[in-house]
Amino acid sequence: MTSRGRFITFEGTEGVGKSTQLANAAGTLKALGVDYIVTREPGGTPMAESIRELLLAPRDEPVNDMTELLLMFAARAQHLHTRILPELEEGRWVLCDRFTDATFAYQGGGRGMPAESIAQLENLVQGCFRPDHVILLDAPVETGMTRARHRGELDRFEQEAVAFFERIRQTYLRRAEADPARYHIVDAAQTMEVVSRDVTELVRGLVDRA
Ligand code: TMP
């Protein structure tokens, strides 16, 4: 029987180098002969990607916080049940660019939605399913925002003020500090070479322990 794959998520505020480190982690798994897929939230299936477009498009109409929260979980339900869980059952590891920690950080810390409401939706959509490991790339908000601004057109979230991202960063850090066995904080303000080395070592360690 194939053993279940591991579900590893990557989190952080804008511009902390998540995409680069996801690619680095994928390369590490490949070198170790681990079967894996890379995916992202919101998104990861055609329907969930359509919900992502709805969520990220800058618009004149004000977006209600509850609408945003429910759309995040609508996309997640589709992604989790039609893609993530089947892949894990097949024994593949799933590397996911953001998951529910982003909802606690952005809709909770950032927008001010109550953590209890988010936890209720988490239980409703996921049951007791949680990431096996969360890799939190942490850097001062300004560092990341400067990088994000250089990438071009800003999406609806990237247009928010520094204070919004500061609350997000603090929410991530609080969650990580409360569960150090599952959360791995990487100092993303270091040079890219050093961050990559840290992430490679971390992923190797996760494979050794699996
Ligand atoms: P990305 O830029 O990392 O691909 O993520 C898209 C945006 O969606 C990013 O600004 C964070 C935001 N987001 C939330 O607000 N809540 C969530 O639950 C997720 C998964 C993403």
For every residue of 28-56, DSSP letters joined together read: HHHHTT--EEEEESS-SSHHHHHHHHHHH
Q: Which CATH number fits domain 7-209: 3.40.50.150, 3.40.50.300, 3.40.50.2300, 3.40.50.720?
A: 3.40.50.300
Q: 156: CA distance to ligand 1 center in Å?
A: 10
Burial class (CB in 10 A: 0-12, 13-18, 19+), 183: buried
Pair 99, 40: CB distance under 8 Å: no
Close Cβ partners of 120 (under 8 Å, ≥ 6 residues apart):
none
Please report the pLDDT score of residue 96 as a whole number: 98
165 C-beta closer than 6 A to ligand 1: no
Among 76, 170, 167, 78, residue whose Cα is nearest residue 121: 76
Which residue owns the Cα nearest ligand 1 atom 19? 102
User: Strands across the sheet with 133-138, in order?
Assistant: 36-40, 93-97, 7-11, 133-138, 183-187
Residue length of the chain: 210
Residue 72 in contact with ligand 1 by CB distance below 6 A: yes
- What distance in Å separates the CA atoms of residue 100 and residue 131, rounded to the nearest whole number? 9
Positions of the chain with pLDDT under 70: 1-2
CA 29–ligand 1 middle distance (angstroms): 24
Q: Is 63 exposed, middle or buried (0-12, 13-18, 19+ CB in 10 A)?
A: middle
Read off the amino acid at residue 41: E
- Tell me the CA–centroid distance for residue 168 and ligand 1, in Å: 11
The rounded Å distance from CA 193 to ligand 1 centre is 25
CB-ligand 1 contact for 10 (6 Å cutoff): no
Give the Cα separation of 32 and 169 in Å (integer). 32
Q: What pLDDT does 2 receive?
A: 67
- Whole-number pLDDT of residue 151: 83
Taking only the tens place, the pLDDT of each residue in 64-102 is 999 999 999 999 999 999 999 999 999 999 999 999 999
Residue 140 tokens read as 């001062």
